[in-house]
Amino acid sequence: MDSSHPTLHAVFCDIDGTITGPDRRLNLQAVETIRTLVDNDIQVVLASGNTICSLYMLARMIGTEGAVIAENGGVYKRYHRDEITVLGNHNRCLEGYKRLEHHFASQGIDLIPFSNEYRYSDVAFARNVDPDEVRHLLSDMEDLTVLDSDFALHIVSKGITKGTALLSLAPKLGLKPKEILAVGDSENDYDLLLNAGIGVAVANGAERLGNVADYITEKKYGDGFSEAVRKYFPSLF
């Protein structure tokens, strides 16, 4: 986060809750906003806890050049045809997940995995168990962290975030972090906003994001995303 208002050349944005509505449907105004950015040579990077394959398809459909950050920063790709870069330790995350499976099964609770066969770095599962209990059960595995995206729980390698992926990916896109506008809504977007030149939280965002956001939008969800982009790229609209 940089209060000097640097010249911006890219937008890194979360998906669920940021360019969608509360129903997780894509906000069409946000899609049009992204296309306006791309058509004016502003790079757009989608950053999510979702799998790389789902982000690849979404980037194609929206019309970006394909740079994406997946699995909460554990995986990223520079362009559509590039190989993926993996930053996290998937096998270690699976060890933690197996421990949770065993514990909750003894209580008659089945964990509901989210596409872990398509994940390379983290492990994701439904929020049908208490996040604090999950963190307690894995507290001795000090190389792991549990993230709550509001849509799922994720076991990730410690030190891996969307923000660290931003720092790793930016130079490969010819960008400096200070040239990036980051927009998000969830706890797992904290480091994304922190490490960008300007960080924006949409109005429905987690309260903690207010600690690092340069601006909090008046509008919620995808409408808030479009508000943020129009504020910082006024000449395009």
Q: Which of 2, 14, 41, 132 is catalytic?
A: 14
pLDDT for 106-139, tens place per residue? Answer: 999 999 999 999 999 999 999 999 999 999 999 9
Answer yes or no: do 72 and 27 share one domain.
yes
Judgement on whether residues 18 and 50 belong to the same structural domain of the protein: yes
CATH code for the domain of 98? 3.90.1070.10
Classify residue 193: in a domain, yes or no: yes
pLDDT exceeds 90 at position 3:
no
With contact defined as beta carbons under 8 Å apart, do 203 and 218 qualify? yes
Same domain? For 169 and 210 the reply is yes
Among 142, 157, 172, residue at a domain's last position:
157
Euclidean distance between CA atoms 15 and 63, whole angstroms: 15
Give me the domain span that covers residue 169: 10-86+160-236
What does the pLDDT average to over 58-73? 96
Count structural domains, the chain: 2
- pLDDT, tens digit, 9 for 90 and up, residues 85-97: 999 999 999 999 9
Residues 79 and 166 reside in one and the same domain? yes
Q: What CATH number should be reported for the domain holding residue 62?
A: 3.40.50.1000
The upper half-sphere exposure of residue 134, i.e. CA atoms within 13 Å in the direction of its Cβ, equals 27
Does residue 167 fall inside a structural domain? yes
How much is the pTM?
Answer: 0.93
Which pLDDT does position 69 carry in this prediction? 98
Output the pLDDT for position 5: 64
Local confidence band at 4 (pLDDT 50, 70, 90 cut-offs): low
Q: For the segment 194-226, what is each residue's pLDDT rounded down to a tens digit?
A: 999 999 999 999 999 999 999 999 999 999 999
Do 24 and 122 lie in a common domain? no
State the pLDDT at residue 151: 83
1 has pLDDT over 90: no
**Residue linked to tokens 């909090």:** 216
Domain boundary among 105, 131, 157: 157
Structural domain ending residue among the three candidates 117, 136, 157: 157
SS3 158: coil
Whether the per-residue pLDDT at 41 is higher than 80: the answer is: yes
| Residue 14: active-site member | yes
Give me the mean pLDDT over the 178-193 stretch: 96
- Work out the mean pLDDT of the chain and round it to a whole number: 95
Nearest to 37 by CA among 15, 2, 74, 11: 11
The answer to the question of residue 204 being in a domain is yes
Question: Do 186 and 138 share a structural domain?
Answer: no
pLDDT for 2: 46
* 192 in the same domain as 101: no
**pLDDT cut 70: percent of the chain above it:** 98
E strand residue ranges, 93-171 = 123-125, 144-148, 153-157
Domain co-membership, 224 together with 178: yes
List the structure tokens of 205.
């965002």
